[in-house]
């Protein structure tokens, strides 16, 4: 276990706002979690690709860094894996592709750790973490024990799960179980992949996902960002049809009995692509991505976030919800007032 004091927050968030973290605790073994003596539950952090520290953090930051990958079972058709939370997600995808295992190739190049994947049920190009999940192992602060939740018990939804709802701040994900396929299981009915052949190889799909993401999204190591900033809103079919009457070109995708509307389209229509407020702005190729040009401030970020939310609400009567976790001085997620 490693205790670090007074750390620059830029090293722990890919958005890199300039502030500080009073204490960072890095843990490599579950048994070490039992020895942590804290007055309040710490802020759980993976690789910081979906977290922005708005101000100095007084609560401890906890990172579980154990990253082993274990094959539990293998059949003629499938491979069952147990992967610890500290494993890098994209590295897991790359390993699967190199091993000719299908199921997560559409999730290539998503930044962050494996432990973060079930929390917000990461997804891209028609595939979600929930599609391959067998279970999630969760360490509870209450009884200092590990509990295994089946995929059904995780209550996965669009960028949502049990761990973002009733179990938030109650513990941390320490490992996941997933099943990958040895036989092709192509998901190509999504813009960016729909130009591929129905017989596209695993490597071709993987390469196309990476190329498509790189063409739209900035490299966070070069231009600070946390990827897509807002969730794609889901509205009723009736509300969508009313919007179609006023905005005939508004795109939408049926989800159960509702319609998912691309947040990027809504924001782009309002002229935010390339818009800049001080040193915070909307990426020139993808307005859904907010970027920090180097000296961005929390005030500028919140002003831009509220501006986008307000204008989308005024024009389309749709309330955008941030996907990125923004933490104030008490470690509480920012909520628009």
Q: Catalogue the active-site residues.
A: 159, 228, 323
Under a CB-based contact definition with an 8 Å cutoff, are residues 301 and 17 in contact?
A: yes
Q: b/e per residue, 185-218, with b = 16+ CB within 10 A? A: ebebeeebbeeeeeebebeebbbbbbebbeeebb
The upper half-sphere exposure of residue 318, i.e. CA atoms within 13 Å in the direction of its Cβ, equals 28
Instruction: Give the bridge partners for 138, in sequence order.
Output: 147, 173
Give the pairing of strands 123-124 and 127-128: antiparallel
Biggest CA-to-CA distance, the chain: 60
Structure tokens at 80: 């069952």
Q: For residue 244, what is the enclosing H or E element?
A: helix 237-246
Radius of gyration of the chain, Cα coordinates, nearest whole angstrom = 20
Which of 264-267's residues contact partners 24+ apart within 8 Å by CB, and which partners? Answer: 264/228, 264/288, 266/233, 266/312, 266/315, 266/316, 266/318, 266/320, 267/230, 267/308, 267/312
Under a CB-based contact definition with an 8 Å cutoff, are residues 148 and 136 in contact?
A: yes
């Amino acid at each position: 276990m490693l205790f670090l004091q007074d750390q620059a927050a830029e090293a722990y968030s890919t958005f890199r706002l300039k502030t500080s973290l009073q204490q960072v605790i890095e843990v490599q073994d579950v048994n070490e979690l039992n020895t942590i003596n804290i007055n309040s539950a710490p802020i759980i952090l993976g690789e910081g690709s979906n977290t922005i520290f708005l101000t100095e953090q007084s609560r401890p930051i906890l990172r579980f860094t154990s990253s082993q990958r274990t094959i539990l079972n293998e059949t003629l058709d499938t491979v069952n894996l147990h992967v610890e939370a500290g494993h890098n997600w994209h590295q897991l995808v790359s390993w699967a592709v190199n091993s000719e295992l299908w199921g997560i190739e559409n999730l290539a190049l998503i930044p962050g750790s494996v432990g973060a994947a079930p929390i917000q049920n990461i997804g891209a190009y028609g595939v979600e973490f929930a599609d391959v999940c067998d279970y999630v192992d969760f360490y509870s602060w209450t009884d200092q024990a590990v509990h295994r939740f089946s995929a059904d018990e995780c209550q996965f939804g669009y960028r949502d799960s049990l761990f973002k709802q009733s179990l938030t701040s109650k513990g941390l994900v320490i490992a996941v179980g997933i099943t990958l396929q040895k036989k092709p299981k192509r998901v190509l009915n999504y813009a960016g992949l729909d130009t591929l052949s129905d017989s596209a190889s695993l490597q071709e799909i993987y390469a196309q996902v990476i190329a498509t993401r790189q063409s739209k999204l900035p490299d966070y190591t070069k231009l600070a960002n946390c990827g897509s900033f807002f969730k794609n809103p889901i509205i009723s079919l009736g509300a969508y049809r009313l919007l179609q009457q006023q905005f005939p070109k508004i795109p939408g995708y049926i989800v159960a009995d509702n319609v998912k509307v691309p947040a990027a389209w809504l924001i782009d229509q309002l002229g935010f692509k390339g818009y800049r407020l001080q040193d915070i702005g909307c990426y020139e190729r993808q307005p859904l991505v907010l970027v920090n040009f180097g000296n961005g401030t929390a005030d500028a970020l919140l002003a831009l976030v509220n501006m986008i939310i307000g204008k989308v609400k005024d024009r389309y009567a749709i309330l955008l919800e941030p996907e990125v976790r923004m933490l104030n001085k008490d470690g509480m997620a920012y909520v628009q007032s």
